[in-house]
Amino acid sequence: MSFLFSRSNKTFKPKKNIPEGSHQYELLKHAEATLGSGNLRQAVMLPEGEDLNEWIAVNTVDFFNQINMLYGTITEFCTETSCSVMSAGPRYEYHWADGTNIKKPIKCSAPKYIDYLMTWVQDQLDDETLFPSKIGVPFPKNFMSVAKTILKRLFRVYAHIYHQHFDSVMQLQEEAHLNTSFKHFIFFVQEFNLIDRRELAPLQDLIEKLGSKDR
Task: List, as residue ranges, the binding site for Zn(2+).
Answer: 78, 83, 160, 165
Please, what's the largest Cα pairwise distance for the chain? Answer: 50
Nearest to 178, CA basis, from 63, 83, 32: 63
Categorise residue 173: left if φ over 0, alpha if ψ from -120 to 50, beta otherwise: left
For the beta carbon of residue 179, count every other beta carbon within 10 angstroms: 15
Q: How far apart are CA 197 and CA 152, in angstroms?
A: 10
Q: Spell out the residues 6+ positions from residue 102 whose beta carbon is closer than 8 angstroms to its own.
A: 96, 116
Q: How far apart are CA 3 and CA 214, in angstroms?
A: 37
Q: Which residues are annotated as a binding site?
A: 78, 83, 160, 165
Q: How far apart are CA 41 and CA 215, in angstroms?
A: 10
